[in-house]
């Protein structure tokens, strides 16, 4: 069972990854979406899969640079994720 504070940590982590400067990219609709904004179920599913893959790749990059999302009640949060973001953003930091 997931504890309530764990859900909060997960939500904050997801938000910080999505809003991290230099880490987040703009979400766009699939290239073959029609002009009126309607997309097929398959296109929406593919867009979700791509977004999930991107988030997972960003999280792995942060983990390679020292961030541990499983730390629970980490007294160094948010400093540890900010340090990992800085390391990931520098050219000498861990890369894909």
Q: Given this model, what pLDDT does residue 32 score?
A: 53
In a domain, 82, yes or no: yes
In a domain, 21, yes or no: no
In a domain, 32, yes or no: no
Whole-angstrom distance, CA of residue 50 vs CA of residue 34 = 19
First to last CA, the chain: 32
Structural domain tally of the chain? 1
Q: Cβ(7)–Cβ(1) under 8 Å?
A: no
In a domain, 1, yes or no: no
Name the average pLDDT for the chain. 77
Q: Which domain holds residue 51?
A: 39-96
In a domain, 29, yes or no: no
Residues 6+ positions from 71 with CB-CB distance below 8 Å? 77, 80
Q: How confident is the model at residue 24 (pLDDT cuts 50, 70, 90)?
A: very low
If you compute the radius of gyration of the chain from its CA atoms, what whole number of angstroms results?
A: 16
In a domain, 58, yes or no: yes
């Amino acid at each position: 069972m997931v504890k309530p504070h764990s859900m909060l940590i997960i939500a904050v982590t997801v938000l910080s990854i999505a809003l991290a400067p230099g880490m987040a990219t703009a979400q766009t609709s699939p290239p073959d979406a029609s002009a009126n904004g309607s997309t097929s179920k398959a296109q929406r599913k593919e867009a979700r899969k791509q977004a999930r893959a991107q988030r997972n790749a960003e999280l792995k990059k942060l983990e390679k640079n020292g961030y541990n999302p499983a730390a629970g009640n980490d007294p160094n949060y948010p400093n540890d994720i900010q340090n990992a973001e800085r390391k990931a953003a520098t050219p000498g930091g861990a890369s894909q």
